[in-house]
Structure 1
Amino acid sequence: HLSDGSYAGDQQEVALLGMAEVLDDKRRWKRLSTQCIFPFTQTRRKMSVVVKAANHVYYLFTKGAPEVILNASTHMFLANESTPAMTPAIRESLSEEYRSMINENTALRVLGVALLRLDAKLAKKIIENPDYVEENLMFCGFVGFADTIRPEVPQAIKECLSGGIRVIVITGDSKETADAVCRQVGLLPEKSTKKYLSITAD
């Protein structure tokens, strides 16, 4: 939401709004009318919104875990608005790109983004179905977010460990991103190859 002329709220959402304004300086996205929202859940690992544009054109916009968005996509949506098929080779190339964004040198939090064009009939069917599962999406790309480590965190971690306090990290990020952040704050040794417990909750 807007607060004193600037966006406030979840920093990831604020960053996405900032990106939208940079990519669309005419702010055409502000003329879209939200019709319904399918919220994020740990089971779905994605969220979607159906919006109405001009001339009764509808879109489904989806964001979520990169591998989930890739698996739900059958085509790509390119800058020139062409929509080539998502071939196995392209899918593997995109997976490699995702892995490069979450390695120990970048430690980015990554979302996959996709869309689907809808006519009024299909939009109505989706809006009225609370159990709708996104499929046949057009993959748009990945968005990476960098979490800045506050200066005081490494020292605080060091003091906890030296005081015998066990530090446990709970995160919704990928294991690779979590490992990289833990190394940055001194929770994991830089060159450690030790295996650590990683649990994924559905």
Structure 2
Amino acid sequence: MRCLSFLLLVSFLLVGDPTRAQHAALPVAATTAAPPTADEVLKEARRVAAKEGKNVLILFHASWCGWCHKMQRAMEEPAMKPLFEQHFVIRWLTVYESPNKKALENPGAEDLLKKHKGADLGIPYFLVFDAKGALLGDSQRAPGENVGCPAQDNEVAHFIGLLRRTTRLTPAELAAIEDRFKKNKS
């Protein structure tokens, strides 16, 4: 009997738990909800912005985009995060995913990007709206020139100018953000 119990235990350890294998085989889309539409994201963000007296910062990104990750990391650094969150309701919209990750895209996000003349300009691409939905600014330094994740002096200058116009950040806070984003050069 002891030998049979030992063989069953070894078989179980070698083969694994069959119920776990079934769950692992499920496609990701079957286990997670679909992303919200761009309209739903904007509506929710405007509602929160109106309640909190903030503007809305929409950032278009994709999982494969290194500059998008760099932008997110910079904005989420402990010294930067409170500065952005104090003035913006920040939402990320996923666009331009690779074919195997299309399910991550927010439906309607690409149309929103096109509507605001950001199509074919690369990502990250950002828009600033007031709580009523009026566009206050975007990531185009000049028509057709997306600064993306600001790194070069002229890109950072555009970003700081946009923040100056759309927030109540102090000169010292703007200088701290400027210093941080200039580090993206390296």
For the aligned pair, the TM-score class normalised by the smaller chain equals under 0.3
Higher RCO (Cα < 8 Å, 6 or more apart): 2
The structure where helix makes up a greater share of residues is: 2
TM-score (norm 1): 0.26
The structure where strand makes up a greater share of residues is: 1
TM-score (norm 2): 0.27
Larger radius of gyration: 2
